Amino acid sequence: MKVLIFLLLLLSTCFSAIAADSLPVKPAIENSPITTPISAKLWLERLSTALKTLNFNTSFVVVKNNQAEPYHWFHGRDEDDLELEIFATLNGPRHDILRKGDIVSYIESEVSPYSVESKKISGPIPAILSADISTIENDYEFISVGRSRVLGRVAQLIRIVSKEQDRFGYWLWLDQESGLLLKLAIISLKGQLLEQIQFTHLDITDSLVDTLIQLKQADLPPVIEVPIINQDHELTWQVNWLPTGFKQIKANRHSMSSTNQPVEFMLYNDGLVDVSVYVSASHEKQRKVEYVMDGATVVLNQVVNGFEISVVGKIPSNTAKAIANSIGIKAAP
Amino acid sequence: MSESKFEKVSSLVDNYHNDKNESVELFEQLNTDSVLSDTWSHYHLIGDVLRDEIPSEILLDFSTQIAQEIAYEPTVLAPKKSTLFNAVKAKVVQFSKPFGQVAIAASAAGFMVIGVQQNVAQNEIIMPSQVFQTTPLAGFAAPVSFNTESTNRLSQKQMYIEQQRRFQALLSDHYQQVKLSASKNDSQTLPTLEVEDSVK
């Protein structure tokens, strides 16, 4: 009898030990990302459709470098299916972006207003989010992480993570109900928050808001024609290394907008991130590499053998250094 | 016991006593007459209740409790003066005295050293005309090298401003180029709406 009781006791302790072991494992399973690529991609496709089709009126704050920059964002489609959109800064000098179909106007205090013919707005929200997300599928992974509460709504967290360790991660909190963006964070490779966009209010309406009706009636500034000669210039140098997926968008010679310094310039884009490369003659012979971070945007500058080389873009400083170091004279054909 | 006496007690409790001789007389009676002293405490209690000043626990007779506590308290006999204690104390004094003296001497020396250093530093600073004052880092350099260092710092500051301007120019040009890049020619890199809709 005694032996039996002892055995029972032993058994029960065994079971309790097993139960205790299995307990901490359980939440870990729940927290682990659901790596089915379809679900996260579906969320991003839903976001893209929502950003293109819904009438919404929203405010957000861009937080970087200990500063918060508030914006107002209107979007809608009228009866003729014309897309109307406004980004307006609320603090300081005006920086407004207006869009009417394929015409995007930039109204800034420093330069006279101008328009470009384009499908994408280059503003605080990455343009790819309202475009086809599958174009960056080769270089980024989409991971659905979990749910949380943002802007008083149920939000789904989706991470856009670079496959190689050479670009920043984008975390997106999407509204469960409408699929719209509620929060966006740019996270460094070490998991540090670099830049953040927090939405502060969101109104989804059935019809166009008055501001957009006004925009429809307003005349936008003239579209500037960028001469093709200026767009694709044959330069004597080349960038020999870039992270995968980056394509050359343009190459030109121009004068810097604020200093009038003549530079040779190339612009690269991987679908999500823009990277500019500048090369110009310098009066200095050599200057060691210097860089600053403006939120997630790195500005790298150095002088090598009398040439000033600069790299600007939302990329880690090490990636910018690698790009700058790969620049060389184009081999004669 | 007359009613007037209770009235007098009441006025005394309420601080309305008029005649000084009378109140002195009343206090003497309070000491001897137990009924009167009870009345005195009762009046106080009534007053406390009216003024809402009663403690959470009412001790009706505080004095008797204290008397009891005193009775329970063990008698402490005065201890003998211990000679040992005195001896130890004397030793401590002897030990601590020289240390204290040393400490005072050391701190005085320290003050002197600091004072001298400050004098030297002041002399040094007076000599070259500097644009901005900096605390010397290590040792005291000759005036000439001091001067060159200051110009270095000045140019460093200029270089910093120059650098910031350069970064700012690059950043704003980058943003502008990105805006301009989004022209019609780029439609190949960005898929059109129709393609997307057909996917869904």
B66: in domain: no
CA-based nearest residue in chain A for residue B185 = A118
- Which CATH number does the domain housing residue A123 bear? 2.50.20.10
Give the residue from A96, A122, A270, A288 with the most B CB atoms within 10 Å of its CB, the best one to mutate.
A122
Q: State phi, psi for A137 to the nearest 5 degrees.
A: -65, -30
A186: in domain: yes
Q: Does B161 touch chain A (CB under 8 A)?
A: no
Cβ A107 vs Cβ A95: under 8 Å: yes
CA A66 to chain centre: 19
A11: in domain: no
The tally of domains found in chain B comes to 2
Q: Does A113 touch chain B (CB under 8 A)?
A: no
Examine the domain organization and report whether A206 and A140 are in the same domain: yes
Q: Report, in angstroms and rounded to the nearest whole number, the Rg of chain A calculated over CA atoms.
A: 25
End-to-end CA, chain A: 95
- Judge: A247–B189 Cβ closer than 8 Å, yes or no: yes
Token pair of A161 as six digits? 């993570």
Q: A residues 202-221 near B, CB within 8 Å?
A: none
A133: in domain: yes
- Judge: B191–A131 Cβ closer than 8 Å, yes or no: yes
Q: Domain boundary residue among A217, A240, A262? A: A217
- Which CATH number does the domain housing residue B43 bear? 1.10.10
Examine the domain organization and report whether A209 and A244 are in the same domain: no
Cβ A183 vs Cβ A35: under 8 Å: no
CA-based nearest residue in chain B for residue A290 = B163
Cβ A173 vs Cβ A183: under 8 Å: yes
Q: Of A275, A317, A281, whose CA–CA distance to A300 is shortest?
A: A317
Q: Of A253, A245, A306, whose CA–CA distance to A275 is shortest?
A: A245
pLDDT at position A132: 92
Q: Does B48 touch chain A (CB under 8 A)?
A: no
Cβ A129 vs Cβ A51: under 8 Å: yes
A28: in domain: no
Q: Scan for tokens 């009898």, then name that residue.
A: A1
- Which CATH number does the domain housing residue A238 bear? 3.30.200.100
Residue range of the domain that includes B18: 3-61
Examine the domain organization and report whether A147 and A276 are in the same domain: no
Strands across the sheet containing A247-255: A247-255, A262-269, A274-281, A307-313, A297-304, A287-294
- Judge: A132–B173 Cβ closer than 8 Å, yes or no: no
- Judge: A104–B191 Cβ closer than 8 Å, yes or no: no
pLDDT at position B155: 82
Amino acid at A268: Y
Q: pLDDT per residue over B190-199, tens digit each?
A: 332 232 333 3
pLDDT at position B97: 55
- The pTM assigned to this predicted structure is 0.61
Token pair of A284 as six digits? 């200095």
Examine the domain organization and report whether A241 and A202 are in the same domain: no
The tally of domains found in chain A comes to 2
Burial class (CB in 10 A: 0-12, 13-18, 19+), B145: exposed
Q: How far is A270 from chain B (nearest CA, A)?
A: 10
β partners of residue A34: A144
Q: pLDDT per residue over A135-194, tens digit each?
A: 999 999 999 998 999 999 999 999 999 999 999 999 999 999 999 999 999 999 999 999
Which residues in chain B come in under a pLDDT of 70?
1-3, 17-18, 54-62, 75-152, 154, 182-200
A2: in domain: no
A210: in domain: yes
Q: Domain boundary residue among A217, A247, A279? A: A217
pLDDT at position B191: 31
For A222, B112, B120, B136, the CA distances from B124, given in Å and listed in that order, are 66, 18, 6, 10
Residue range of the domain that includes A280: 228-329
Number of H helices, E strands in chain A: 5, 19
Sequence-distant (≥ 6) Cβ neighbours of residue A332 within 8 angstroms:
none
Sequence-distant (≥ 6) Cβ neighbours of residue B128 within 8 angstroms:
B143, B146, B147, B150
Rounded CA-CA distance A276/A249 in Å is 10
Digit-by-digit pLDDT tens for chain A (333 residues) are 555 555 555 555 544 444 444 434 333 334 444 444 558 999 999 999 999 999 999 999 999 988 899 999 999 999 899 999 999 999 988 889 999 999 999 998 878 899 998 888 888 999 999 999 999 999 999 999 989 999 999 999 999 999 999 999 999 999 999 999 999 999 999 999 999 999 999 999 999 999 999 999 988 888 887 655 555 667 889 999 999 999 998 888 888 878 888 999 999 999 999 999 999 999 889 999 999 999 999 999 999 999 999 999 999 999 999 999 999 988 765
Give the residue from B156, B168, B170 with the most A CB atoms within 10 Å of its CB, the best one to mutate.
B170
pLDDT at position B135: 42
Q: Does A106 touch chain B (CB under 8 A)?
A: yes
pLDDT at position B189: 34
β partners of residue A107: A96
Examine the domain organization and report whether A197 and A297 are in the same domain: no
Rounded CA-CA distance A102/A116 in Å is 8
